[in-house]
Amino acid sequence: MVDVPTHEDVLAAAERIAACAVRTPLVESPTLSARTGGRVFLKLELLQRTGSFKFRGALNRLALIPENARAGGVVAFSSGNHAQGVAAAAGLLGMTAMIVMPADAPRAKIEGTRALGAEVVLYDRQREDREAIAGRICAERGATLVRPFDDPGIIAGQGTVGLEIAEDAGRFGVTLDAVLAPCSGGGLVSGIALAIRGSGLAARVHSVEPENFDGMRRSLAAGEREAAPGGALSIADALMAPMPGAHVFALAKGLLAPGLAVSDAELERAVVFAATQLKLLVEPGGAAALAALLAGKTEGRNIALVLSGGNADFASIAAMVAKAH
């Protein structure tokens, strides 16, 4: 049996992180609503502390570490957003943090992680095993490993995004037909689905992944965990986990609607649309749900899109906009 969080765990996480995490706004986009003929809402997690939803899960997970186990600090592996979330949460709780990051991660994410007080260890994602590196550091330091998605405490923390969507949709007086969220290992989208269902909403919750890194989509279709083929790296550096985690999929298989996949061209189009039409700076991975909507891969009139992060290199976004215009 694999432990999975409950709706009560999400409620407890919301209370636990409330003093530090930002309650990000859910806003309707007139531009997208007019485009689709329905109502489209944006959950702006790019306004979250550290620039992505990852802070929620990291703070909840670190807060669950017993006081007598905190002296060794924490270790995490991440391409950037989880790294910054863990670094920030560790700082708030007075713990040390060491983050194992790929050397080709966006400079903004590496620098952001260091600026938050964490020590960064760089590795070659093509040739080295980040989990092995992190495991060795944990053994040397007596540290706690904080996984990026496959942990009930992380999932519950990310699920607070779904609680807020459900509550704010109610304030708008709208019944959501679908909620779309970017997916890598699946902690965010499975947590959202848990919260949405526990809040009594019938909205379908869809994962959105890059093509060839669509492990969740393939796993949901197969009914068991299945790895994506991978290959050339996606521009969505935050969305390249090969398959959903065991804890994640045990939860997701009973809650998620069929997964969606988007191409790098569709991701780039979404980043440009967000910058030029919505006036929002969204990283490619954070724009996956928007990419699916713009590509016509969604159904339903009332849709909420999670824009999960904004930690992008400005030069990269500028180049995409320039190319499109």
Work out the percent of the chain whose per-residue pLDDT is above 70.
100
**CA atoms of 126 and 110, how far apart (whole Å):** 18
Buried b (16+ CB within 10 A) or exposed e, 283-295: bbbbbbbbbbbbb
> What are the domain boundaries of the chain?
7-53+151-324, 55-145
Closest CA to 86 of 312, 160, 78: 78
Q: pLDDT at residue 252 above 80?
A: yes
In which band, very low, low, confident or very high, does the pLDDT at 107 lie, cut at 50, 70 and 90? confident
**CA atoms of 176 and 303, how far apart (whole Å):** 6
Q: Domain 7-53+151-324 has what CATH class?
A: alpha beta
The pLDDT value recorded for residue 105 is: 84
Q: pLDDT at residue 1 above 90?
A: no
The pLDDT value recorded for residue 138 is: 96
The pLDDT value recorded for residue 16 is: 98
In which band, very low, low, confident or very high, does the pLDDT at 125 lie, cut at 50, 70 and 90? confident
Mean pLDDT of 275-297: 97
The pLDDT value recorded for residue 80 is: 81
Fold for the domain defined by 55-145: Rossmann fold (3.40.50)
The pLDDT value recorded for residue 285 is: 96
Say if CB 184 and CB 168 are below 8 A apart: no
* Same CATH fold assignment for domains 7-53+151-324 and 55-145: yes
Mean pLDDT of 193-215: 97
The pLDDT value recorded for residue 109 is: 84
Q: pLDDT at residue 272 above 80?
A: yes
Q: What is the mean pLDDT of the chain?
A: 96
Q: pLDDT at residue 2 above 90?
A: no
The pLDDT value recorded for residue 181 is: 98
Structure tokens at 258: 């069929």
Task: Output the pTM of the full model.
Answer: 0.95
pLDDT (tens digit per residue) in 27-79: 999 999 999 999 999 999 999 999 999 999 999 999 999 999 999 999 999 87
**CA atoms of 69 and 66, how far apart (whole Å):** 5
Q: Where are the beta strands (DSSP E) in the chain?
A: 26-28, 39-44, 74-77, 97-102, 119-123, 144-145, 178-182, 204-210, 260-262, 302-307
Residue with tokens 């991975």: 285
Q: Three-state DSSP class for 67?
A: helix
pLDDT (tens digit per residue) in 131-180: 999 999 999 999 999 999 999 999 999 999 999 999 999 999 999 999 99
The pLDDT value recorded for residue 20 is: 98
Angle formed by the axes of helices 54-63 and 152-172, nearest 10°: 130
The pLDDT value recorded for residue 301 is: 95
**CA atoms of 207 and 9, how far apart (whole Å):** 21
Q: Residues 6 or more apart from 178 whose CB is under 8 A from it?
A: 203, 204, 205, 206, 257, 298, 299, 300, 302, 303, 304
Closest CA to 162 of 309, 3, 304: 304
In which band, very low, low, confident or very high, does the pLDDT at 266 lie, cut at 50, 70 and 90? very high
Closest CA to 32 of 277, 207, 272: 277
